[in-house]
Amino acid sequence: MIPEEKVRQVAERTSVYEVVSEYVQLRRAGVNYTGLCPFHAEKTPSFNVNPARETFHCFGCGAGGNVFSFIMKIEGVGFPEAVKILARKAGIEIEDRHLTPAEKQQQDEREIFYRINLLTADFYSSVLKQQPEGKQAREYLALREADGTIADAYGLGFAPDKGDALVRHLRANGIDPELALKLGVLRKSERGWYDQFRNRLMFPIRDVKGKTIAFAGRVLDSSLPKYINSPESPLYHKSSILFGMDMALPAIRQENSLIIVEGYFDHLALFRAGIRNVAATCGTALTAAHASMIKKHAGRVYLLFDGDAAGRKATVRAMETFLEQQLPAYVITLPNGEDPDSFLLNNPVDAFKTGMEKARPAFDYFLRSLLQVIPPDSVDNKVRVMSEIIPRFRKISSPIERDLYEKEICRLLGITVHAFRKQSGGYKLTAADVQPSQRHLIQKGDARQETLLTLIWSYPEARERVIEAGIENLFDGDYLLIVRLMLEMHSDQNEAWQLSRLTESLESPELKMLLSRLLVSDAHLADVDWRIVFDNCKKGQEQKEVGSIKEIAARLAVLEPDSKEYADLLRQADSLRSRKSKL
């Protein structure tokens, strides 16, 4: 533990401006200095450093804090390590307390573990590059365009098909096989020691600092299992490690995002194409520890898993994890039958980037994928769909996002918000709850449209103003049907406003009830200035349409621009704006 006095001393001798200047080109702007944020991609500087207050803040991504915060974020380290880094820059010596004998033994053993993995990685690499046993793997990598500098960047190697090749190599370097056993690179049987990985292409798995902590071995043919990963060890905890994070960190800081793929070759395909903000799961599902680690470095996540049932299931699990961590997640979809490797071999990288731009929010992807599997064409299916949706829906923390998704879910299922909330509250639904209501107008009327209807009935002058404004601009749904009938009766010189004649023209019992309710309860409009009432109704219409436009804009933000629904909504928004301008 670092003494508080030492931390204060480091802070006093350290300038946030000087430290940040090592990473960011800063220019003076009044009392502050500005530059391009190192934590997200931007073209206009929004990153500010205030030397007087020893703070920094980015108005683009929200990153901010003091000099320790900056080092922690830029270097991906914890607070103690950040203090030590800055102490070295300031020439301050920080003495660690003396370790107990048990702690010293543990520390020494850990260093030996790192050395064993380094020796193992070097051995596999030498076999791949120099030994006859590695010829098949060299040809395989050349065929997949993963040789040369790409192989070097990953530290790829090959485990020969010999029972004890690595055993002999480690022993020759003074390594006790019992320690290598703890890392899972060697195994032991009654017949003696033998190699865990044989006849496999080897991927070293490294931590964020670039130290090798485990291995993944892939077969070169169709035999199973395709991959074998190192077991859990004192160095390797798969629930908190993502493959390639050490290679991705610089790009993550620039893009403020991370692409997560399932396979090592998927990762390699993106890296080869110049897309570096990418990491892969190590044969396990994404965990809260993964999400917590990602959240320290990236502001959003893109999921790129296989399109089969297993991949969709993994996507939903990942979505749940990121919802809990309140980290925005999106889903990239590729054409059927394609994975990142095959897609990028046959398409330009710009095509992949276009797919990223069209990525759907993970919850929206989940919702639509679910409806493809369980179409909401029956009461039972709607209840089944809601039972799948609601546990995930509850994980959405943003009130605005919850509200928008609630409306969209109800629209897609053809149910009321009341029914959805009833189900999410644990109450049992009836068939009436999940069937479209034909009496919604009766149960919940539109006060503005009802007032205009009674004005037309009570004040002939108001009728002319309504016609002038355009009935389609003021009415919709069943109200529009009623007002048209009213105006037709008047234009045909029938007995204007005769209730019996008008109600006979309506086939629906519900509409007859609506009309009778309105026309027998219009006493509140007697002796009023109908012009003021009419103007207030118009203002209400304007406010409603502004709200509708906002809802459409929110929906457009999560749709693909080339989809039919996107085009329809765009036309609807244009129509609303046009109607609003005429009011």
> What domain range includes position 322?
239-365
Length of the chain: 583
Are 205 and 274 contained in the same domain?
no
Are 74 and 149 contained in the same domain?
no
Which pLDDT score, from 0 to 100, does residue 203 have?
97
Are 74 and 124 contained in the same domain?
no
Are 450 and 577 contained in the same domain?
yes
Instruction: Identify the domain boundary among 306, 339, 365.
Output: 365
Q: Are 290 and 321 in contact (CB under 8 A)?
A: yes
Taking CA atoms, 565 is separated from 374, 536, 549, 558, in Å, by 21, 33, 15, 11
DSSP line for 367-378: HHHHHHHS-S-S
Residue type present at position 331: V
Q: Are 392 and 320 in contact (CB under 8 A)?
A: yes
Q: What does residue 92 show for φ and ψ, rounded to 5 degrees?
A: -105, 130
Question: What CATH number should be reported for the domain holding residue 108?
Answer: 3.90.980.10
Which pLDDT score, from 0 to 100, does residue 272 have?
94
Q: Are 113 and 234 in contact (CB under 8 A)?
A: yes
Nearest to 20 by CA among 59, 66, 53: 66
Distance CA 449, CA 445 (A): 8
Instruction: Identify the domain boundary among 410, 437, 464.
Output: 437
Distance CA 426, CA 429 (A): 9
Which pLDDT score, from 0 to 100, does residue 269 have?
94
Distance CA 138, CA 140 (A): 5
The verdict on residue 96 lying in a domain is no
Distance CA 472, CA 580 (A): 12
Question: What CATH number should be reported for the domain holding residue 81?
Answer: 3.90.580.10
Nearest to 355 by CA among 275, 251, 282: 275
Which pLDDT score, from 0 to 100, does residue 451 have?
78
The verdict on residue 95 lying in a domain is no
Are 156 and 272 contained in the same domain?
no
Question: What CATH number should be reported for the domain holding residue 449?
Answer: 1.10.860
The verdict on residue 143 lying in a domain is yes
Question: What CATH number should be reported for the domain holding residue 341?
Answer: 3.40.1360.10
Distance CA 256, CA 62 (A): 11
Tokens coding 344: 């990028």
The verdict on residue 511 lying in a domain is yes
Beta strands in 133-281 (DSSP E): 157-159, 186-189, 192-195, 200-206, 212-218, 227-229, 257-261, 278-280
Which pLDDT score, from 0 to 100, does residue 518 have?
65
Distance CA 242, CA 75 (A): 17
DSSP line for 515-548: HHHHHTS-GGGTTS-HHHHHHHHHHHHHHHHHHH
Q: What does residue 578 show for φ and ψ, rounded to 5 degrees?
A: -65, -45
Which pLDDT score, from 0 to 100, does residue 562 have?
66
Q: Are 243 and 280 in contact (CB under 8 A)?
A: yes
The verdict on residue 569 lying in a domain is yes
Are 229 and 248 contained in the same domain?
no
Which pLDDT score, from 0 to 100, does residue 461 have?
79
Are 284 and 214 contained in the same domain?
no
The verdict on residue 538 lying in a domain is yes
Beta strands in 11-114 (DSSP E): 27-29, 32-35, 47-50, 55-58, 64-65
Taking CA atoms, 89 is separated from 10, 83, 84, in Å, by 9, 10, 9
The verdict on residue 383 lying in a domain is yes
Beta strands in 281-337 (DSSP E): 300-304, 329-331
DSSP tally for the chain: helices H, then strands E: 28, 16
Alpha helix (H) residue ranges in 394-525: 399-413, 417-424, 440-443, 447-458, 460-469, 471-474, 477-491, 499-504, 509-519
pTM above threshold 0.75: no
Are 329 and 258 contained in the same domain?
yes
Q: Are 230 and 224 in contact (CB under 8 A)?
A: no
DSSP line for 235-253: S--GGG--BTHHHHHHHHH
Are 221 and 106 contained in the same domain?
yes
Per-position pLDDT tens, the chain of length 583: 677 788 888 988 899 999 998 888 788 888 899 988 888 767 788 899 998 888 999 988 888 899 998 988 887 777 888 898 899 888 888 776 666 787 678 778 889 999 999 999 999 999 999 999 999 999 999 999 999 999 999 999 999 998 899 999 999 999 999 999 999 999 999 999 999 999 999 999 999 889 999 999 999 988 889 999 999 998 998 878 999 999 999 899 888 899 999 889 999 999 999 999 999 988 778 887 788 788 878 889 999 998 888 888 999 999 998 988 888 999 999 988 888 988 998 899 999 999 999 999 999 999 999 998 999 888 889 989 999 999 999 888 888 888 899 999 998 998 888 888 878 776 565 555 665 544 333 334 577 777 777 777 677 777 788 888 788 777 777 778 777 777 766 544 444 445 556 666 666 666 777 666 666 555 555 556 767 777 777 676 655 555 556 566 656 555 666 666 667 667 666 665 555 554 4
Are 478 and 495 contained in the same domain?
yes
Instruction: Identify the domain boundary among 343, 365, 387.
Output: 365
| Number of domains, the chain | 5
Q: What is the DSSP letter of 212?
A: E
Are 231 and 113 contained in the same domain?
yes
Which pLDDT score, from 0 to 100, does residue 493 have?
47
Which pLDDT score, from 0 to 100, does residue 555 have?
60
Are 574 and 493 contained in the same domain?
yes
